Chains A and B, each alone.
Chain A
Amino acid sequence: MSGFANQPENAVVVTNLVKRYAKAKAIAVDDVSFAVRRGEIFGLLGPNGAGKTTTIGVLTTAIVPTSGTASIGGVNVAEDPIGVKRRIAVVPQQSNLDRSLKVREILTFHAAYHGVGRRERGEMADRLLEQLGLGERKNEKVSAYSGGMVQRLMIARALMHEPEVLFLDEPTNNLDPQSRLFLWERIGELRARGLTILMTTHDMEEADHLCDRIAVMDHGKILVNDSPEALKRTLPGSSALELQTFTASADHAGMNERIAAMLRSLPGTARVDTTADADSEEPGHYTHRLFGDNVHLLIGSAAQAIAECGAEVRNVSVKKPSLEEVFLSLTGRHLR
């Protein structure tokens, strides 16, 4: 894994990172290695207490690693924290915006902390506030802002010093669907501009939608690290073909048993679940679920088998395994 650091296409490199807190029993981060490529959105997923926050804390200079190394753009986090701070920006989960300043000043002072010139920071603040839909309310204080506006403002602030790597901690947690969609679009634009983004989220849809690659962490270790598609492929027999059927026959139960038996015999079928739809008004409505690796190839033969038994197909759908199922299969269902 140590070869990572020499590859210029990697924006973030973590090698054999270990963090053990002084008073804690367990190791927070236990020999973690990964790399984030330049211009990539990398998702760090895991249950609460998995070690995500500590890993990000090390990368953002707030936590000193016990051993191992981490670097941003080739700059070692422990050896040159100031060099790292110039290259990164952090959007935390909860607002840490300066409540004593007006919104526009929050951006201009942030840029001033980073040595951006006076005129440049003014222009940049106005442009970013406009882009993030806050231009109208730039002279207010953040106490008047909604959750979605606060989140947008924190992203605007993060962009003020043109970082190479952006850290987003659960960026759309607790936001309304409009704000969430708006932020997804903006985050997508940032990637298009070449920014590297390392994000954490508990929202599997968000991870699936935004991330190029995902690492799932638990108990301080990275369990898997791959593209969302590849991760979903790792769950065998978990895509499902769902067929809703109807028969007017009085012996609908017997007929559906025959259908289930025929479906089970189709090559490539791992398992079949058959349930009568209890909530429909007339009897004879059933749902059959075929599980297998490539169930979409079975649509034709399954429909034919149902027709041969004398029932009609009312609805067909293919359900792919979700990232959530992958996540749960890796980290288990128990509460933390």
Chain B
Amino acid sequence: MGSRTRLALSALLATFQRDLVVTGREFVPFLMQALMQPLFFLFIFGKVLPGIGLAAPNFAALMLPGIVALTGMIAAMQGVTLPLVLDLGFAREIDDRLLAPMPVWFVALEKVLFGALRGAVASSVIFPLGWVILGSGFAVRTDRMFTLVAMVLLTGLVGSTVGLLIGTIIKPDQISLMFTLIFTPLLFTGCTYYPWGALGRIRWFQVMTLLNPLTYAAEGLRYAMVPPTGGRDFPTLPLFWILLALPASVIIVFLLGKRTFGKRVVN
């Protein structure tokens, strides 16, 4: 390995360490930020609604993977988008890293990798949280662990690459608009609160959800988590399509984000 490559990789590693140190110091606020919403979702949709007979008893088991996907996706996005918008807009703290001896797109890559880690951590914490809140309603199959880990990591990467793209497009004065126009549709069309297969009766919406990478993350996690009933696996989007769509969207969205990032930092 050339000295250039080693220098660039060590710079990449150092920026990652910087993020670890900073997030480590704010770990509790980070967890609260990431987990407040899922906590209430789990309670209301997994406990209250089935408890008062407004949802089927197994609804919790179907929704838990959706919550894991949503939480990971949002935590990953939040870790990238907001800091990036502020940094590129006026804070310019990123300059010090842009002047490090590595290609500028490594700075974007680091943001994506670290964002994915944040997402994966937030996703993972949903499991003990769900176990506590759902009680007897907590049901996760354990024979697809490898797929589960892969899905959690891919979900984080999808979130952080989308976060990179949005963070490099949005200007600071458009932040509130971003929440309304980008976040909200993304969250509700991502098959988090409902399984994709059940949308067959609303065909146009079922097709539309396929445009949202969150759909594949949620369905992938359903495939890995929902226990079989009566010896039959719960029907999800075919794993093949999930494993095609998630990495493809990670790569495509990252390449787009890398481009917009480059345009923002080198004129």
Choose among B17, B99, B104 the residue that contacts A90 (Cβ–Cβ < 8 A). Answer: B99
Choose among B4, B14, B97 the residue that contacts A82 (Cβ–Cβ < 8 A). Answer: B4
Q: How many residues of B contact A (CB 8 A)?
A: 29
Which B residue's beta carbon lies closest to that of A21? B267
Chain B residues 240-254 with CB under 8 Å of chain A are none
**Contact: A100 with B99, CB < 8 Å?**
no
Task: Compute the total of residue contacts between A and B using a CB distance below 8 Å.
Answer: 77
**Contact: B17 with A115, CB < 8 Å?**
no
Q: Given A82-B103, A85-B100, A85-B101, A57 and B7 touching (CB < 8 A)?
A: no
Kindly state whether residue A109 has any CB partner on chain B within 8 Å: yes
Residues in B whose Cβ lies below 8 Å from that of A113: 11, 14-15, 96-97, 100-101
Q: Given A62-B266, A112-B17, A96 and B101 touching (CB < 8 A)?
A: no
Kindly state whether residue B141 has any CB partner on chain A within 8 Å: no
Q: Given A82-B8, A82-B102, A101-B21, A110 and B96 touching (CB < 8 A)?
A: yes
Q: Given A114-B101, A115-B7, A98 and B96 touching (CB < 8 A)?
A: yes
Kindly state whether residue A262 has any CB partner on chain B within 8 Å: no
Kindly state whether residue A314 has any CB partner on chain B within 8 Å: no
Closest chain B CB from A70 CB (angstroms): 14
Choose among B17, B94, B98, B267 the residue that contacts A63 (Cβ–Cβ < 8 A). Answer: B267
**Contact: B101 with A64, CB < 8 Å?**
no
Interface of B is mostly: helix
CA distance A155 to B249 in the complex (A): 42
CA distance A89 to B92 in the complex (A): 15
Residues in B whose Cβ lies below 8 Å from that of A112: 10-11, 14, 17-18
Which has the most chain B C-beta neighbours within 10 Å: A57, A82, A113? A113
Closest chain A CB from B80 CB (angstroms): 15
**Contact: A60 with B22, CB < 8 Å?**
no
Which A residue's beta carbon lies closest to that of B98? A62
**Contact: A100 with B22, CB < 8 Å?**
yes
Q: How many residues of A contact B (CB 8 A)?
A: 31
Closest chain B CB from A87 CB (angstroms): 9
Kindly state whether residue B265 has any CB partner on chain A within 8 Å: yes
CA distance A305 to B201 in the complex (A): 110
Q: Given A57-B267, A96-B93, A85 and B99 touching (CB < 8 A)?
A: yes
**Contact: A115 with B101, CB < 8 Å?**
yes
CA distance A70 to B100 in the complex (A): 19
**Contact: A109 with B267, CB < 8 Å?**
no
**Contact: B95 with A92, CB < 8 Å?**
yes
CA distance A21 to B266 in the complex (A): 12
Closest chain B CB from A289 CB (angstroms): 48
**Contact: B92 with A86, CB < 8 Å?**
no
**Contact: A101 with B18, CB < 8 Å?**
yes
**Contact: B99 with A60, CB < 8 Å?**
yes
Kindly state whether residue B91 has any CB partner on chain A within 8 Å: yes
**Can you list, as one digit per residue, whether each of A98-114 has a CB less than 8 Å from chain B (1) or not (0)?**
11110001000110111
**Contact: A115 with B11, CB < 8 Å?**
yes
Q: Supply 30 A–B pairs (Cβ within 8 Å), ascending by A.
A: A61-B99, A62-B98, A62-B266, A64-B266, A64-B267, A82-B4, A82-B8, A85-B99, A88-B99, A90-B95, A94-B92, A96-B92, A99-B91, A99-B93, A100-B93, A101-B18, A101-B22, A109-B14, A109-B17, A112-B11, A112-B17, A113-B96, A113-B100, A114-B100, A114-B101, A115-B6, A115-B7, A115-B11, A115-B101, A157-B96
Residues of A within 8 A of B (CB): 21, 57, 60-64, 81-83, 85-86, 88-90, 92, 94, 96-101, 105, 109-110, 112-115, 157
Residues of B within 8 A of A (CB): 4, 6-8, 10-11, 14-15, 17-18, 21-22, 91-104, 265-267
Other than the given A61-B99, A96-B96, 5 more pairs (CB < 8 A) read A63-B267, A92-B92, A94-B92, A96-B94, A98-B93
